[in-house]
Structure 1
């Protein structure tokens, strides 16, 4: 009975990892697209250096976290924990500016998934 339970846990873990990779990849794409398109077109607060830097940081850490998970690095938990923090900060700033719901949603989904993957669930 114990081996079946371990198999199920492994399957659940693999599924969670695959979801996290997908959320990280989506968040990377959305942040990069929004920063280089939407924000530049809107101007004003949307092109404030701190905001653009945060969005690019978010895109980069999401890509890095996905890469760590894809190659099976045991250090992915550390990168995912950082990714969750950066994504949450990005979501908050995009929400504050408004008219960036796609970015807010992608960042929050990625942050939640990375918290689950890194074991930081109770730090929310």
Structure 2
């Protein structure tokens, strides 16, 4: 399994993100797309947060289907899958520099917020807690990016 700290390099190797600006001597982090910094968040940063949330929601949906205790309702699994798809759509929108990215980012933030709240209801489940944290990161990132032109 690809570890999160290797995600920027893997995305660059797959041609999804440009090679790091470090190669150009700018000193920018490997996950930052050159020329796309907006305040504390860059387009590349937001893409990575969305991709991480996409993966976490899919992983958590799979986890939920494997639970034998029956404590995970089908509606929660559907919410996780919807959230994963929205995060993927948002990352795609940002990567192609869509002029409507703010609409997509706001929708993603709203869906991730709903997903995080649902996951937080499972107070004794570590997987659900992790998913909620990742979704909350995506909420913050997408809300910031929705305010920025790209």
Counterpart residue number, 2:122:
97
Q: Does 1:33 align with 2:43?
A: no
Cα deviations across residues 82-109 of structure 1 (Å, max 9, x unaligned)? 0000001000100102311210111000
TM-score of the superposed pair, with normalisation by structure 1: 0.81
Instruction: Kindly indicate which of the two structures has a greater share of residues assigned to helix.
Output: 1
1:79 to 89, 100, 104: 104
Match of 1:45, SS state, is: coil
Instruction: Kindly state the Cα deviation for residue 22 of structure 1 after the two structures are TM-superposed.
Output: 0.4
Q: Which has the higher contact order (CA 8 A, sep 6+)?
A: 1
Cα deviations across residues 54-106 of structure 1 (Å, max 9, x unaligned)? 10010000000000000111111100000000001000100102311210111
Runs of 4+ aligned structure 1 residues displaced above 3 Å come to none
Match of 1:97, SS state, is: coil
Instruction: Kindly state the Cα deviation for residue 45 of structure 1 after the two structures are TM-superposed.
Output: 2.8
Does the 8 Å CA contact 2:36/2:43 hold for their aligned counterparts? Answer: no
For the aligned residues, what is the CA RMSD?
1.8
Q: Distance in 2 between matches of 1:112 and 1:57?
A: 18
Counterpart residue number, 2:5:
none
Match of 1:113, SS state, is: helix
Q: Does 1:113 align with 2:141?
A: yes
Aligned residues: 109
